[in-house]
Structure 1
Amino acid sequence: MSIVKIENVRVLDPIKKTDSVETVYIENGKIVAASDAVTETVNGQGKWLMPTMVDLCARLREPGQQQHGTLKSEGKAARDNGILHVITPPDSKPIVQDNGALIHGLVEKAMSDGGIYLHVIGAQTQGLNGKQPANMAGLKKGGCTAVSNAYAPFENDDVVIRTLEYAAGLDMTVVFYPEEPQIAKDGCVHEGFVASRQGLPMIPAIAETIAIAKYLLMVEMTGVKAHFGLISAGASVELIKIAKDKGLAVTADVAMHQLHLTDQLIDGFNSLAHVRPPLRAEKDKALLRQGVKDGVIDSICTHHEPLSSSAKLAPFAETLPGMTAFDTYVPFGVQLVNEGVFEPLEWVEKVTLAPAKVANMLDRWTQESGWILVDPELEWTVSKESIISQGKNTPLINQKVRGKVIQTFIA
């Protein structure tokens, strides 16, 4: 095997909690002792060496939506951008995440086609119909450690409670993407001045906070482990904090774009800013950043959702929500560091060690991770040509950003 020597690189190691400039040797994706059998020497001056990342929420579009992305195209985009472990929600079209045997095949295909470790969240109800619990025991045998109903509504709260009790008995985590459907209805943007001026149907922040409050009461009653994904409202941070202070087994994540972008971007009916949950106000962004900083929100995910160009061409409310995010994940992280929100090691922990813990895969991540070399000063333009993902749907198109993965060291 080849041994790469990286000289004078800033090593950001969240497991050892060390941030130091040193010379390292990497073989087969692992840091090894100094060796004379070096096959390549890399100048690491000014660069960061960090572990490969874990993404708690990304839709890769296969099976069923290959016009937007495939396991091959999105796997390559994830891997080349330093993300080796990808967790995907159970709402593909068609839905296969209620069948443990099909999930196993999907995981194998993600590795053979895209070179990534795919982790599938199982369906909480059969076919996400919100009526009958899925065969969670079978899903666990198929490798799922968590279940979710994604954004599909439940028929009633009794169904929710029964599924939580079922999951608790199997020691499985339930993942909520909190949104009260009766309040969100057919909304597509944050309830605020910009949406009102444009006459767009709105999703108020209370649609999220009411759902969180209700589910937290159920979590407390059933004792199930729960994760709240894609938090978007600043007020949600306080609810998660209260739950953690009470000792509930609760974790949370936020999409990287929610820490940077706001509803101002929808001005002019910019459908590239159409995401779900919606981009919210500047105050929400500030509270979310503080929530991550304080550890109330455990980790940051990409919320990668590649879409074909035609998916964004209809009138705003009729376009599909989603933003391609693998390619801008590191630049956004570097921006958080440059703006003083995090020290470099703090940011690295939020996208590596923390999500691995949330996903109950710390030991596996430690064994199946590699290292990536990041140039935090490299300036580049986000364009349809520079984006590796099949989806080019981002409001950052034609903007200059700073920070990029320039080399990966993976077994």
Structure 2
Amino acid sequence: MRIVKIENVRVLNPMQKTDRVQTVYLENGKLVAETADVTETIDGQGKWLMPTMVDLCARMREPGQQQHGTLKSEGKAARENGILHVFTPPDSKPIVQDNGALIHGLVEKAMLDGGIYLQVIGAQTQGLQGKQPANMAGLKKGGCTAVSNANASFADDDVVIRTLEYAAGLDLTVVFYAEEPQIAKDGCVHEGFIASRQGLPMIPALAETVAIAKYLLMIEATKVRAHFGLLSCGASVELIKIAKEKGLPVTCDVAMHQLHLTDQVIDGFNSLAHVRPPLRAEKDKELLRQGLKDGVIDAICTHHEPLSSSAKMAPFAETLPGFTAFDTFVPLGVQLVEEGLFSPLEWVHTVTLAPATVAQMADRWMQEAGWILVDPELEWTLDKDSILSQGKNTPLIQQTVKGKVIQTFLA
């Protein structure tokens, strides 16, 4: 039995809505009353103690893309960076998330190999081909609480409506990564000055907002519970705000990098800045931040997508989109606090209890979550040695950041 005493630590507890410096006792990752049976004492001066985090969107690359990452490598990276519950979209290669019988095996492997609770989002259509609804009843039986067509398009809007009706009847959440393919076409970056100057094919903000507007009308008609993942445009925030004011059962999240980076980073054809949805304009970044502050955006996710070095070596438009993001999640969160967007407790809420609530698993998370010790003042350099993920693909590579998980306390 391991009982740890942490003295003078700043405890950020979103469940109790408390933020105070105190001495705490942890037994196997759980807060307990004061006890004499202490096996380890830690000086928590200047440190934060917070619950483990919940990530609503991360690709683990297994099965089928182990050249980029595995459940073992990415599970370890998530766990050691304080993320214990991870939701993954249904677009592995091959696609197995349309078969409820196979999902349980993925969940078991994630815990055995990586030590994390993997939450698999089921496929909305068979093989993500957008033509026929997947067997959602079987997916629910296999443990799925949500379905999505990931970044794949639908054959027509009638298919979307039928899948929403099906999901609503099973009380499943439908997750949208909204992008209208006829507008996005073969684009790869935000429609703006930098893209025009470099001659790169563009994805207008309208590709996202038109899709969100259309899906919101369908949600209103079918009464399905829906979540919009990875918002990137300021106008999207306004659409979600109107939907929430109307009482529609919708939630949304934003990737951490959209709160910090803009399309300026793609200058010079920097393929490490290639991500989808793309990095938008400064105005979008500020409106996303405000939407989070106002509570329109419910949570922050990592949008972790590890890639091998060769995946970023082609000409910009031909490279694979994605950032490795587990290792940068805490330092970028600390930066939001330092910049005054949030208090430490408010930030902790957006990456713990808020995403757990969105995912309809707050009670489960409270039972399974351990605690992590964060040093918000620790400076370190993001490089190939310090990044725990198998993927080193981040536009922040070689930058010095501040804030790191220094210890985890799990059951």
* 2:284 counterpart letter in structure 1: D
Name the structure 2 match of 1:66: 66
Q: Give TM-score, length-normalised by structure 2.
A: 1.00
CA shift for structure 1 position 111: 0.1
In the TM superposition, what are the counterparts of 1:137-216 in structure 2 within 5 Å?
137-216=137-216
Q: Deviations over 1:87-135 (max 9, x none)?
A: 0000000000000010000000000000000000000000001000000
Name the structure 1 match of 2:31: 31
Counterpart Cα distance in 2 of 1:101 and 1:255: 30
Counterpart Cα distance in 1 of 2:88 and 2:40: 35
Counterpart of 1:8 in 2: which secondary structure? strand
CA shift for structure 1 position 51: 0.1
Name the structure 2 match of 1:90: 90
Name the structure 2 match of 1:380: 380
Tell me the C-alpha RMSD between the 2 structures.
0.3
CA shift for structure 1 position 363: 1.0
* 1:73 counterpart letter in structure 2: S
Name the structure 2 match of 1:265: 265
* 2:258 counterpart letter in structure 1: Q
Counterpart Cα distance in 2 of 1:387 and 1:101: 34
CA shift for structure 1 position 389: 0.2
In the TM superposition, what are the counterparts of 1:222-301 in structure 2 within 5 Å?
222-301=222-301
CA shift for structure 1 position 163: 0.2
Counterpart Cα distance in 1 of 2:387 and 2:2: 29
* 1:147 counterpart letter in structure 2: V
Counterpart of 1:118 in 2: which secondary structure? strand
Counterpart Cα distance in 2 of 1:188 and 1:62: 25
Counterpart Cα distance in 1 of 2:288 and 2:86: 23
CA shift for structure 1 position 138: 0.2
Structure 1 residue 336 corresponds to structure 2 residue 336: yes
Counterpart of 1:378 in 2: which secondary structure? strand
Name the structure 1 match of 2:45: 45
The unaligned stretches of length 5 or more in structure 2 are: none
Residue correspondences, number: 411
Q: Percent identity among equivalent residues?
A: 84
Name the structure 2 match of 1:389: 389
Counterpart Cα distance in 1 of 2:179 and 2:319: 19
Q: Deviations over 1:17-45 (max 9, x none)?
A: 00000000001110001111111100000
Counterpart Cα distance in 2 of 1:151 and 1:200: 21
The unaligned stretches of length 5 or more in structure 1 are: none
Counterpart Cα distance in 1 of 2:92 and 2:330: 26
* 1:250 counterpart letter in structure 2: V
Counterpart Cα distance in 2 of 1:217 and 1:264: 34
Counterpart Cα distance in 1 of 2:83 and 2:49: 14
Structure 1 residue 105 corresponds to structure 2 residue 124: no
Name the structure 2 match of 1:55: 55
Counterpart Cα distance in 2 of 1:123 and 1:237: 26
Counterpart Cα distance in 2 of 1:55 and 1:2: 27
